[in-house]
Amino acid sequence: MTLFYALIALGSLALIFGLILGFAAVRFRVQSNPIVEQIDTILPQTQCGQCGYPGCRPYAEAIANGDEINKCPPGGDATVKKLADLMGVEAKPLAGGEQAEPVKTVAYIREDECIGCTKCIQACPVDAIVGATRQMHTVLIDECTGCDLCVEPCPVDCIDMLPVKTTKQTWKWQLDAIPVTQID
């Protein structure tokens, strides 16, 4: 009989706590960002397609489905590291021997050579090139992600990828400079 009471007591306790937990699980559910979103925010959004996917989001989806995390050259090692942290995998060097800290570039159209074919406009993933048929095109530097996609289609090769200029706002002190000392 005692055994019976004990079972009933424990059983009812288990039921009560189970209900409380169940309720809490529904009521206080923490809405976490879907993993794809999180990966997508880490990716540099150049939309360059160098990973083999048409844009950053498709690559984010691919990573979520188990693709390698080291296929993003514009992101460099920093992105790989962040992705490794997020996905709980080992950080590895960039695929294809890309440089760890990529130089940021923007497209520049040599405007007097532009024939106005609009091919680069169609190629630009972020609509950062303005122009019209048989009119000169130009790049909105602030919107250009430096993805290189406009260089290939240009029939007259008038697009250069130039490194982003350092401004006073982006200039950094040289910390690893070797001090020069003169010895008499």
Partner 1 sequence: MEKLIAQIKQGKVWPFPGGIHPPGQKTISTGQAITRLPLPDKLVVPLKQHIGANGKLIVDKGQQVLKGQALTKPVANWSVPIHAPTSGVITDICQMPSAHPSALPELSIIIEPDGQDRWCTLNPVPTPSLLSHEQLIDIIHDRGIAGMGGAGFPTYIKADSRKAIEYFIVNAVECEPYITADDMLMREYASGIIAGIEIMQQLLTPTLTIVGIEDNKPEAIAAMQTAAAHNDKIIIQTVPTVYPSGGEKQLIQLLTNKEVPSGGIPADIGVLVQNVGTLFAVNQAVFEGKPLIERVITVTGNTIHNPGNVWALLGTEIKHLLDCQGFSPVPQQRVVMGGPMMGFTLPTVRIGVVKTTNCILAPDHEELAEPGPEKACIRCSACADACPASLLPQQLQWFAKSKEYDKLKEHNLFDCIECGACAYVCPSEIPLVQYYRVAKVEIKEQQAEQVKAERAKERFELRKQRLEREQEARQNRHKRKPATEKSADEKQKIADALARVKSKPAKDDDKSAVATAIARAKAKKQNQGADLEPDNSDVALERAARKEQARKYKEQKAAASTTDGDKAAPADDKKAAVAAAIARAKAKKAASSTTDSETAAPADDKKAAVAAAIARAKAKKAAKAEQADSLEADQTQSETAAPADDKKAAVAAAIARAKAKKAAKAEQADSLEADQTQSETAAPADDKKAAVAAAIARAKAKKAAKAEQADSLEADQTQSETAAPADDKKAAVAAAIARAKAKKAAKAEQADSLEADQTQSETAAPADDKKAAIAAAIARAKAKKAAKAEQVSSVEKDNAVDETTPTTKNQEPGTEAQPEQTAQDKKKAAVAAAIARAKAKKLQQEGSDK
**From the list 65, 88, 170, 183, which residue makes contact with partner 1 (rule: CB under 8 A)?**
170
For the chain, the farthest-separated pair of C-alpha atoms sits apart, in whole angstroms, at: 101
Give which of 49, 37, 117, 42 is closest to 75, Cα–Cα. 42
Q: Does 168 bind partner 1 (CB under 8 A)?
A: yes
Is there a contact between 120 and 153 (Cβ–Cβ < 8 Å)?
A: yes
Residues 177, 184: Cα–Cα separation, whole Å: 22
The piece of 9-17, 22-30, 42-50, 130-138 that touches partner 1 (CB under 8 A) is 42-50
CB of 62 to partner 1, least distance (A): 16
Q: Is 158 marked as a binding-site residue?
A: no
Cα 75 to the center of its chain, rounded Å: 6
**Ranges within 145-164 binding partner 1 (CB under 8 A):** 145
Closest CB to partner 1 among residues 2, 174? 174
Closest CB to partner 1 among residues 25, 175? 175
CB of 97 to partner 1, least distance (A): 23
Q: Does 77 bind partner 1 (CB under 8 A)?
A: no
Going residue by residue from 49 to 68, which x/- string records binding to partner 1, judged by CB under 8 A? ------xxx-----------
Which residue shows structure tokens 């989001």? 57
| Packing angle, helices 56-64 and 35-42, rounded to 10 | 130
Q: Does 45 bind partner 1 (CB under 8 A)?
A: yes
Helix (H) or strand (E) holding 155: none
Which residue shows structure tokens 């397609």? 49
Q: Does 143 bind partner 1 (CB under 8 A)?
A: yes
Residues 60, 35: Cα–Cα separation, whole Å: 9
Give which of 90, 51, 52 is closest to 72, Cα–Cα. 51
User: What does the binding site for partner 1 look like in residue numbers (CB under 8 A)?
Assistant: 40-41, 43-47, 55-57, 125-128, 142-143, 145, 166-173, 175, 179, 181-182
Query: Residues forming the annotated binding site for [4Fe-4S] cluster?
Result: 48, 51, 56, 72, 114, 117, 120, 124, 144, 147, 150, 154
